[in-house]
Each structure stands twice: as structure tokens, then as C-alpha cells.
Structure 1
């Protein structure tokens, strides 16, 4: 697929006055209690303030996203979706940089389908409060950021990864429409950023799987293999937020009770979809959060006000085929699943690696390098089957 070409619209946006208004709008939404809670929840993350090497980049991202979201608010997609929605490129010229919005109408429709208001999206990602840097244990050279409220996750991408996501975007949207409680990470936006006449950088915006982060005690990135799948845990008492890996999970079990059948079925549906797209090397993100006594059992907690029962596939009547999870009356409960004693945050992320020639050669090399051991670079069919097996073996 060719690199995204410039679209038909070019906008001069986000003057200093607009930036001041955006910052004021965002700041006015935050009260003292919000700031105190936020300070508590941010332990282990790093605020990107003045003097940070990424401060200039993230300020440009914030200003650009504020203006891009304003376009979606001023010109919301009308009528049924079209092929043009998935190929449109909007370039907005700012002071010192330009920001491209890829497939903007398609992502605006997707945000709307998730019940996410453009005003909330703009306030969280625009100027007002600095982004947080997350130091990932991934081997990727990507940079990882969180919005200040930790609701949205931003990740830099290579051009080839963006091309893969754009190519699969229509089928991705169809899959989410058919399976509203899919475990796939919710992509919310895709952008390019160019400073002066430099090379374009690309980044995506998605829901953070680990939201809301309060009381989360453990985080894992699971691929279902063993090579390079160990992370040295943080020292006792450290506030550093680490995402551990497969070998760190040995001896642990996910206790889901009657929810287990639904999870196994949804894993099968989602990994089959990724296999059909010839994708591998994705991860199952998991986090644990202990339930309070008043949160155990249906209807026992004040924060659980709405119970939704969503079928994973049409015409499945068995109790195990339905997701009976209770969704908290808070934003972004898509990735939350409650067991008898623990709350689990679950999501499939990193959906960009295609099994092409380079990965096939890497597979052959690793077979020679790691005989008898399991590693991540295998065929999409094997990868999907192995990850589903891991979930089945580690859930009760």
C-alpha cells in the first residue's frame, strides 16, 4: 500500500490565541479533588513538563489534536459511511509544524459508536495538562504516552505499521460492530506530524486498556511464548509502573468463574479475525485489581449501575456464550471483566505486524537460534492458536 497522500483540505489552525482558549477550556474542567486523585494515580509515570526532551513534541501533538478534533466537531460525518471516510487525509498547518489526520471521518464515527464525546476527547488530549510518559518494557523503539487522566494511550508508529492499520481499518470497524465487547484495542485516531520540512512521524491514539488505573496491582503483556518474555520486577516498595511478561506469570491463574467461557469464545473470535488479516505478534494486555467486599456479586456495588448482556456472536443461546459482565458507570469499561474476587483489565494490542517475507525469514532464524523453545515469530495460525491455548490453560 502506498504512503497516505495529501488530502483535499488544508487548514490554517491553532494560533496562540486558540491554544490559550484550549488550555483554559481543559483546565476549567479540573477541580481540586480531580487533581489530588490524579496525583495519587500517576505514581510510576513521568510528567512531560518543560525541560523534558519530549516536551516540544507532545505540545505539538496536543495543539494538533485539539484542532483536528475541532474539525470533527464542526463537520461531523453525515449519512452512511463511505469508502472516502477511510482514505481521507486532512492536513492542518500550524505554527512550526503540520498535523495530518488519516481517515478522520471513519475514526469520528468509531468514537461516536463507543459513546465517546468529541468534547471529552478534545479536552483530554488537547493543551491544558501535560502528557505522561510511560517507559515500556517493549523492545520497540516507539514512544508511549498517556493523556493526563490516563484514559487515552498514544504510541508512535512506523509508516509501514500505519499503512497496515489503514488497510485493515474497514474490516476492523466491521468486526467491532459485530462484536461490541471485542477484546481488540479501540483505535480512536491516526495522525502524522511533520516539523518544518522534516520527515513525518506517525502516531495513533487508543483507549488505554488499563483505565481506570486506581488500585491496579499487577500488569502483564502476554504473547504465549517464552523467549525474551521475562521482566525484572520493580524493587519492593517502588512506585515504578512495570508491565511484566509471560514468564513472570508462571504459577498464577485468572479466576473468572462463569465468565471464563465467554472470554475463551471471544479470544477465539478475535484471534481468528487477526489470523485472517495475516497478523501476528500482538499481545494480550492484562491487569489485576482486587475487588472490595461491596463490589462482589451482581448488583452489590453502588458503582455498578448498569448491567449489559452482549452476545459474542449472533444466535448463541448458551449461557457461556454471553458476556454477563457488569459495566461500571464510568468511561471506558470496555476492557473490564469481573471474576469472583478480582477485576481484570484485558485487551489485545499491537495489531500491526504482518507475516510477510521479513517475518518468515525471522521465523526460520529463530528456529535455529532457539531449538525446542517457543518464540513470538510464528505463522498467524500458530500464533492465534497458541495464545488461545495460553488463556485456556491459565483461567478457571
Structure 2
């Protein structure tokens, strides 16, 4: 499926200087205790400050995103959603670079549906504080960043990946509308960045699955296979934040109690959707966080209350009913599940790899290279089924 034909607009960007002043003013109002707690939560992450090789790039991203969000604040999309929402390209010209915003109205509507205020989004991604970097365990050449408050995740993408995401964006939005508690990561923006006359770089913004970060003890990237799925753990006492993989998870169990049947049903819904889009190589992110005593047990306000969805029942008259849940009043509740003793963060990421000729050839090569072993490059149907089986085998 080809990406929709973009409708380009080019404007001069407003200066983010006002944003810097506003951010500085907000920072000045933070207490010393808040700043110390924020610093503690950043252990294992690295500020991209002056002297960092990516500092120039991230400064341009921050200035560009501040101006792009300001354009939405000044001119929010109105009226019913349309095909043009998914095809618009807004290019803002800055000093030394230009930033493109792809499908801006569609993403503005999506952010609004998530209850995310544009001003908060702008403050987190703008020049109010440096982006953060962690030592990724991915073998791709992509760069990964977190906003300074760790709410939003930014990742560079290849052009073909961006085209795939744009092509499927209307169906992605439709899926989230039908299943508002889907495990799919929430894409919040897609952008291009061109420095001087150089080639365009592309990047996406999404809600971080691992948020809020306090007390998260372990993080995993699960694909349901074994080849290249081991990460050497950080030394004991190290503050490095590593995302481990399938083989590191051996011997572990996700204890969900009554939430298990809901999760298995939602896994089936989401992987079926990705299979229909001919997608593979996506990951299930998983993190553990121990519950405090006041978060555990009957009557706790943070334990999920499940209405009609816990058994995965299906109503033909109301197809979204099987995953309608009463969510706790905590940040990022869409990706949080409470078990009897642990809180789990769960979400699908890397939703842009299609099973085309390149991947079919890679599948043939890996079949010869790794006989009798499981690897990531398999057909979308096989990939979806295997990942669901992994979750079923590792939950109780």
C-alpha cells in the first residue's frame, strides 16, 4: 500500500526563545527536593549536553518541535477528521535547518484523544531541558532519545519505515479508537529534519512504555525467539539502564492473576492487526515494578478494576466492550497492569517492518544459518502466533 500523497506547506518557524524563557521560569519554581528526586530517577541515563556528538542534532530537534507544536496550538484541527489530516506535510524553515511535520492534524487529534495537552507536549520536547540517552541493546543503527522528563521516546527511522507508518496510519488510528486500551505504543508525531542542503533525517515520537520510571527494576525486549536474544547484564551495583532480551527472561514468570485473560485477549487483537498489515519484527516491551504495600490488596485505588473485559468476552453489538476497563488514576495507565505483587509495564514497539522481498530473503538465509533454532525473521502469521504463545507460556 503506497503512502498517501502529501500536501506540503512551508512556513517560517516562530522562535522558540519564548519557550526557553517559559521553561526556565518553570525550572526556577521547582524545589531542591524535586530536582534531587528527578536526578535520582535518571540514574543510568546520560544528558545530551554540550560536547556530546548528538548535542547539535537534539538542539535542532527541540527548537523545531517547539515551533511545530506552537503551530498546532495556534491553529488546532477543527471539524471532522479527513483524509487530508493524514497527508499534510508542514515544513518550517529555521536558521540552518528545516523541520517537517508529517500528518500533523492526525497526530494532534490523536494526542487530544489521549488527554495530552499540547502545552505539556511542547514543554517536554522543547528546549526546556536536554534530551536523555541510554545504552540501547538494539542492533539497528537508529538513535534513541528520551525527553528530559522521560515521558516521551524519540527514535530515528529509515525513509522506508516512515513510508510504511504513514501508509498504515489511518488504520492504526482506527484500531486505537476501536480498542482504546490496545498494547500498541502510542505514536504522537512523525517528523523530518534537513540540515542545510543535506539529506533528510526522519524520526518518530511516542509515549514511553516505561513511564513513570521510579522503582522499575528490570526491563525486557521480547520477540519470542532465541537467536541474538541475550544481553550481558550490567555488573552488580552498576547504574546502567539495560533492556534485556528473551534469553535473559528464562525462569521468570509474569504473575497477573485475574488480569491474565484480558492480556491474552488483547495480545490476540493487537497481533492480528499487525499480521493484517504484513508486519513483523516488532517487540513486546516489558518491565517489572514492585508494588508498595498501600498499592497492594483489596480496596487499593491503584489496582485495576475490570468491567466486562477480564474474560475477553466478545459482544457483536459492541465490539470494543471486551477491553473496556476502569483505569487507575496513574500516569501512562494504558501500558500498566497490576498483578498481586508486581506492577507490569507492557507495550508493542517497532511497528514499521514489513514482510517484503528483503525480509523474505533474510528468512531464507537465517533458515540455512540457524537450523533448528528460532529467529525473528519469519512470516507475519508465524511471528504473531509465536509471540502470543510466549506470553501464554510465561504468564499465570
Question: If the TM-score is normalised by the length of the shorter chain, which range does it land in?
Answer: over 0.9
| Secondary structure at the counterpart of residue 184 of structure 1 | coil
Which residue pairs with 1:10 in the alignment? 10
| Secondary structure at the counterpart of residue 334 of structure 2 | coil
Rounded to whole Å, the distance in 1 between the matches of 2:391 and 2:379 is 19
Cα deviation, residue 326, structure 1: 4.5
Rounded to whole Å, the distance in 2 between the matches of 1:286 and 1:315 is 29
Which residue pairs with 2:79 in the alignment? 79
Rounded to whole Å, the distance in 1 between the matches of 2:323 and 2:13 is 46
Which ranges of structure 2 fall in alignment gaps of 5 or more residues? none
Which residue pairs with 1:290 in the alignment? 290
Rounded to whole Å, the distance in 1 between the matches of 2:67 and 2:298 is 43
Rounded to whole Å, the distance in 1 between the matches of 2:121 and 2:298 is 31
Which residue pairs with 2:130 in the alignment? 130
Cα deviation, residue 359, structure 1: 0.3
Rounded to whole Å, the distance in 2 between the matches of 1:321 and 1:18 is 46
Instruction: Work out whether 1:224 is the aligned partner of 2:253.
Output: no
| Secondary structure at the counterpart of residue 203 of structure 1 | strand
Which residue pairs with 1:212 in the alignment? 212
| Secondary structure at the counterpart of residue 284 of structure 1 | strand
Which residue pairs with 2:359 in the alignment? 359
Rounded to whole Å, the distance in 2 between the matches of 1:209 and 1:313 is 26
Cα deviation, residue 9, structure 1: 2.5
Count of aligned pairs: 391
Rounded to whole Å, the distance in 2 between the matches of 1:310 and 1:26 is 42
Rounded to whole Å, the distance in 1 between the matches of 2:26 and 2:92 is 21
Which residue pairs with 1:269 in the alignment? 269
Q: Are the aligned partners of 1:25 and 1:123 in contact in 2 as well (CA < 8 Å)?
A: no
Cα deviation, residue 32, structure 1: 3.1
| Secondary structure at the counterpart of residue 234 of structure 1 | coil
Q: Are the aligned partners of 1:22 and 1:126 in contact in 2 as well (CA < 8 Å)?
A: no
Q: Are the aligned partners of 2:296 and 2:303 in contact in 1 as well (CA < 8 Å)?
A: no
Give a deviation string over 1:178-207, Cα, whole Å, max 9, x none: 101100000000000000010000000000
Cα deviation, residue 113, structure 1: 0.4
Cα deviation, residue 66, structure 1: 0.6
Give a deviation string over 1:231-275, Cα, whole Å, max 9, x none: 000000111000000000001100000100000000000000000
Instruction: Work out whether 1:344 is the aligned partner of 2:341.
Output: no
Rounded to whole Å, the distance in 2 between the matches of 1:205 and 1:110 is 13
Rounded to whole Å, the distance in 1 between the matches of 2:217 and 2:16 is 41
Which residue pairs with 1:95 in the alignment? 95
Rounded to whole Å, the distance in 2 between the matches of 1:126 and 1:173 is 25
| Secondary structure at the counterpart of residue 156 of structure 1 | strand
Cα deviation, residue 23, structure 1: 3.9
Q: Are the aligned partners of 2:10 and 2:93 in contact in 1 as well (CA < 8 Å)?
A: yes
Rounded to whole Å, the distance in 1 between the matches of 2:177 and 2:348 is 17
Rounded to whole Å, the distance in 1 between the matches of 2:350 and 2:356 is 16
Rounded to whole Å, the distance in 2 between the matches of 1:95 and 1:244 is 41
Give a deviation string over 1:64-107, Cα, whole Å, max 9, x none: 11111111111111011000000000000011110000000000
Rounded to whole Å, the distance in 2 between the matches of 1:43 and 1:288 is 17
TM-score between both structures, scaled by the size of structure 2: 0.94
Which ranges of structure 1 fall in alignment gaps of 5 or more residues? none
